[in-house]
Chains A and B, each alone.
Chain A
Amino acid sequence: MNKTTAALAAIILVVAVLVASYGVYRLYVPSENESQGEPITIVDATGAQINVTLPVERIVSLNPGLTEIICALDCGDRIVGRDANSVFPSSVSEKTVVGQNSYDPNLEVLLEMEPDVIVADSMLSYNTEALEKLATAGLPVVIEEPSNVSRVKIVTSNFGLIFGKEEKAAEINDYISSYENLVNERVKDLASSEKPLVYIEWYQTWQTFTEDSIANEIIVNAGGVNIAGEITTTAPVLSPEYVVEKNPDIIVRMISGDLIGNMTGFEATHSELMNRAGLGEVTAVKEGKVYVYDPIVVEGIRYPVGLLYWAKWFHPSLFEDIDPAAVHAELIQQFFGVTLEGVHTYP
């Protein structure tokens, strides 16, 4: 082997290694986004900084509350994939379902939708495998808590920013704030003796919301006192003795998911509470102050509706001039352009 052949072999080898490395690099490292859009950074509910490249034209939403916010921002037509529960407004129900809920999206279907951004609730945080795969695919994932009342306005602003709808977002947030302020103005000077004791019940008989729950926050905001407001266990079943001895002035009951939408379900839930053994002793039952609600009215963008309902239940005389059902209808008309249907509270 003479020197020239050796040098040639060395060159070929180096080139081959370089080409192979480049190939490996192209295959294993996600390609940069081709479009020349400007990147924007937002912080989601988990505290993560997410870089989103504008413009965002294709959205996958894995939570009905987030879907509502997107549609209220007039971006419903940009949704290309949704979770099975995102069915309002009715225009989104035609979109492809990419998963039952945020926890378990079908990654293949989801990737085929070629989204620019994926928005989900915190259930997705528990599916670390899916999160890793989405990160590998270079897709920005925003994890939010749409039912957390202190996040609703932040989510709306963030979405407004990445969808280029800042003005609409500001309009929505002003709307929410106006009712928040209205309620706050009227209940803020109440003495603690004027605030009714509230027992709130959800899924299971005697199961309640405690200290750090969103429902507790709404009770406080609406000028009430939660009888379980100082318990730290999350979503515990209470001793019925405790409930009866606390003697709540108001009972608020979340309706079970399968009964939502029709009057019979609300009536049955209400009458079960009014006639439940042992509850007859309680002021709320004696005075007929037992209310059943559809959780949709306290979630996401509809939170002001729930707040008004609760405030009026807690302080009927202070909110005589307010008709929460009318506000609900107005909100649905204003932000979704449709007429409100169905039953959402009882009585």
Chain B
Amino acid sequence: MSTATELKQLYQKGKKRKILAMLSLFLALLLAVVVSVSLGAGSPGFAEASKVILSKLFPFLNIDPGPSLTQTIILDFRFPRIVLALIAGAGLAASGATMQGVLRNPLVSSHILGMSSAAGFGAALALVLGVGVLSGFGGYLVIVNAFLFSLLAMVIVYGIARIRGITTETVILAGVAISFLFSALTSLIQYIAPEQDALHAIVFWLMGGLSAATWDGILIVFPIVILTVALMVQQSWNINVLSMGEEVATSLGVSSKRVLTITMVLETLATASIIAFTGVIGFVCLISPHVARMLIGSDHRFLIPCSSLIGACLLLCSDTVGRLVIQPVELPVGIVTSLLGVPFFIYILASKRRQNWR
């Protein structure tokens, strides 16, 4: 048998293993959804929840959806929240995987690149200028502002990187600087905020959470996340080449500047649209790619979708725990994500056998 065939077989075997891993992740995610939809502070359990959902999905089956209260609990509260957790987790994790690959740095996340703090500042500004913080018409101002400011942060980071000549280090450093700038501005706003209420609202926003999930929001975020993640996956060959180093990429005819620009735009759109709706949710975008890398290696064609699955699973499980642990009181998902995720992540770090970052 020739070496080429052996190699090919080895590759095929690895590929099968990766697909199998992703398939099991997908099944785990489905299970998590089923469990989440069956649990809550309200009384509807698995049977009631499935009846409601099946009757909506397949109206021709004539399943009795049960009392309208049950329908409200499942369709207006639990389900949108689960869907938003899935979308947000998947989008944040995919963005993290992409940027960690392109910038060849394991620490990169939307926090490091300044987007979270810029979004926080945008939200804080809207909350303090207060065009009806808590009532219907003001909600969108906060979302739009958060989105615009995190776009602005990326534009500034990109601009600085262009002036200095785009290297991964300048992008990261510029991101860190911008992150500090916007954190300082948010602190300034909190310090001089005239209204106690606005301060309160800012603190809540910065904690992040999925309790504000509505179908309207999902209708906006879902297409953006699906599209950007698909385009990230489309870029995965280029990211693979780029992660071997700039010289290698250039010699293979891949323009590192071009790939960096494209992926940054995608990452920004995905992350900004998510955190505009959920507030700052850290950590998912940082650890999901690492867990994925340990599971299936660093081929971005698999890594990006696999990170998405892990991110979705992590955020959904955290949020469900947050909903249940001291019900009927809810914990913000950001707290739970870190409390559950960090020990898990440290365990994986400590027990990993392979070196994934050179």
Contact = CB atoms under 8 A, between A and B. Distances in A.
A245 B135 contact: no
Nearest to B194: A84
B22 to A, nearest CB: 33
Contacts, number: 113
A212 to B, nearest CB: 14
Contact of A257 (B69, B73, B78, B197): B197
Interface string A211-240: 000000000000000001001010011111
Interface in B175-227: 194-198, 200-201, 204, 209, 211-212, 214-215
B198 A257 contact: yes
B197 A256 contact: yes
Q: How large is the interface on A (under 10, 10 to 19, 20 to 34, 35 or more residues)?
A: 20 to 34
Contacts of B41: 238-239, 241-242, 245
Interface stretch (A10-18, A24-32, A160-168, A273-281): A273-281
Contact of A231 (B69, B132, B323, B329): B329
A236 B325 CA distance: 13
Contacts of B215: 277
Contact of B329 (A238, A241, A257, A281): A238
A204 B330 contact: no
Contact of A203 (B136, B200, B328, B329): B200
Nearest to B326: A233
B297 interface: no
Nearest to B192: A100
Q: Interface residues of B toward A: which range?
A: 35 or more
B77 interface: yes
A269 B76 contact: no
Interface string A255-270: 0111100000100110
A175 interface: no
B200 A204 contact: yes
A228 B76 CA distance: 21
Contacts of B200: 203-204
Nearest to A237: B330
B137 interface: yes
Contacts of B197: 203, 256-258
Given A245-B42, A245-B43, A245-B73, A239 B328 contact: yes
A168 to B, nearest CB: 30
A125 to B, nearest CB: 17
B327 A242 contact: yes
A244 interface: yes
Interface of A: 84, 203-206, 228, 231, 233, 236-242, 244-245, 247, 256-259, 265, 268-269, 271-272, 275, 277-278, 280-281
21 contacts: A203-B197, A206-B330, A228-B328, A231-B328, A237-B211, A237-B329, A238-B328, A238-B329, A240-B211, A241-B77, A244-B69, A244-B73, A257-B195, A257-B197, A257-B198, A258-B132, A259-B133, A268-B132, A272-B135, A277-B76, A281-B68
